[in-house]
């Protein structure tokens, strides 16, 4: 694939753009060469039912911009599908190979997002804050009328979709953040975020053996705890899918394809842990999860953008994806995916994952 990166504008892109932030200012070649630190979301306005931040929930007003390569953005993709928000919150999908000007809309006709009319996501950031110097990250929600970024707060965004957008949820939408279970969900998600979601990046972008080994130990210590937790229960908290499952899924679905090799998290593959492999297959086969996953975007992004780690940009041919559709037998543990709700319908035709990018 042609490498069409342009001269860097010192804009913080790369995995900052993909994953909520690092402090690198050197573009894609910095990964694995500078100490990794995930920065906080700079734009943390919330879209709420009462509009207290100036952004009320409204159908057709906002556009969710994602990369299917990015695990943090994939949380929003899954939540939007499960809650049935496709008609209320439009979707813009970026090219998995962003350059040093930020995420780009080269998958769309004329290389422009058809709704926002922009070529690069940074244009929405700049519309919000002139000469914004920081990271251009996904997921991002943009106000369509003004073209301004509203939020890139990847931690809060999906919680608000679950709790503030309820008026626009589909009939039968699950409660992904039930009030009675929030304390337990938050506790589980904290460990998952620290040691798994973020831990694989700490390992992959480590610049010293000591730093890498500490992150590696955290990743597998937490995965072992999660495997033990899920041995006799179908879902992380309660008897149906919650936000906690979504956040773990988006890392696990990428584990063997990129984190095991590319990020050196190689004590074992996910397929070698019967519990976690069964758990993630169960979720993948649940409507709203696997139908958002594009393995081609995932692999090309990690192996071709992180040139500081993989300077050859060669994308592995494997792993074999056929196992994702094999029986998991997790239903024998009880529980139902949607509680008292119902599964979402099929994804819109324009959002279907193409053959070759799925099992």
User: Exposed, middle or buried, 219 (CB in 10 Å: 0-12/13-18/19+)?
Assistant: buried
Q: Is 177 known to be catalytic?
A: no
Name the residue among 254, 223, 269 with its Cα closest to residue 15: 254
Count of positions (residues) in the chain: 359
Question: Is 193 noted as a catalytic residue in this protein?
Answer: no
Catalytically annotated residue among 31, 62, 70, 284: 70
Q: How far is CA 259 from CA 36, 98, 191, 202, in A?
A: 16, 20, 18, 11
DSSP string of 263-332? Answer: T---SS-GGG-HHHHHHHHHHHTSTTTGGG--HHHHHHHHHHH-TTT-TT-PPP-----GGGGS---GGG
Nearest to 139 by CA among 243, 79, 67: 67
DSSP 3-state helix, strand, coil percentages of the chain (rounded to 5)?
Answer: 40, 5, 50
In the chain, what is the straight-line distance between the N-terminal and C-terminal CA atoms, in Å? 23
User: 209-229 and 274-284 are packed helices; what angle lies between their axes, rounded to 10 degrees?
Assistant: 80
Strand order of the β-sheet with 140-143 is 90-93, 62-66, 140-143, 148-151
Q: Do the beta carbons of residue 142 and residue 157 sit within 8 Å?
A: no
Which is the catalytic residue, given 62, 125, 177, 201? 201
- Active-site residues, by number, are 70, 201
């Amino acid at each position: 694939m042609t490498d069409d990166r342009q001269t860097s504008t010192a804009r913080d892109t790369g995995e900052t753009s993909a994953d909520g932030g690092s402090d690198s200012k050197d573009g894609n070649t910095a990964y694995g060469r500078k100490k990794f630190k995930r920065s906080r979301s700079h734009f943390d306005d919330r879209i709420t039912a009462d509009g207290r931040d100036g952004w009320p929930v409204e159908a057709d007003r906002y556009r969710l911009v994602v990369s299917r390569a990015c695990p943090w953005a994939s949380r929003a993709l899954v939540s939007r599908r499960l809650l049935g928000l496709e008609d209320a919150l439009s979707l813009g999908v970026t090219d998995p190979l962003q350059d040093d000007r930020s995420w780009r809309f080269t998958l769309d006709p004329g290389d422009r997002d058809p709704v926002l009319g922009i070529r690069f996501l940074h244009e929405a950031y700049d519309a919000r804050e002139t000469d914004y110097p920081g990271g251009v990250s996904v997921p991002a929600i943009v106000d369509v009328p003004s073209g301004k970024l509203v939020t890139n707060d990847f931690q809060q965004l999906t919680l608000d979709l679950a709790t503030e957008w309820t008026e626009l949820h589909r009939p039968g939408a699950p409660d992904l953040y039930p009030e009675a279970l929030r304390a337990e969900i938050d506790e589980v998600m904290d460990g998952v975020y620290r040691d798994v979601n973020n831990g694989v990046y700490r390992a992959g972008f480590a610049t010293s053996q000591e730093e890498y080994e500490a992150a590696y130990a955290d990743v597998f210590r937490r995965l072992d705890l999660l495997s033990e937790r899920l041995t006799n229960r179908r879902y992380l908290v309660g008897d149906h899918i919650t936000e906690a499952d979504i956040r773990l899924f988006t890392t696990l679905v990428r584990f063997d394809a990129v984190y095991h090799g590319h990020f050196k998290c190689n004590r074992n593959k996910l397929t070698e842990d019967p519990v976690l492999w069964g758990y993630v297959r169960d979720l993948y086969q649940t409507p709203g999860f696997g139908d958002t996953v594009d393995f081609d975007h995932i692999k090309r992004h990690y192996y071709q953008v992180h040139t500081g780690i993989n300077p050859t940009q060669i994308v592995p041919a494997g792993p074999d994806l056929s196992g994702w559709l094999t029986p998991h037998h997790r239903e024998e543990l009880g529980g139902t995916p949607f509680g008292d709700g119902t599964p979402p319908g099929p994804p819109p035709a324009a959002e279907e994952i193409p053959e070759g990018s799925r099992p």
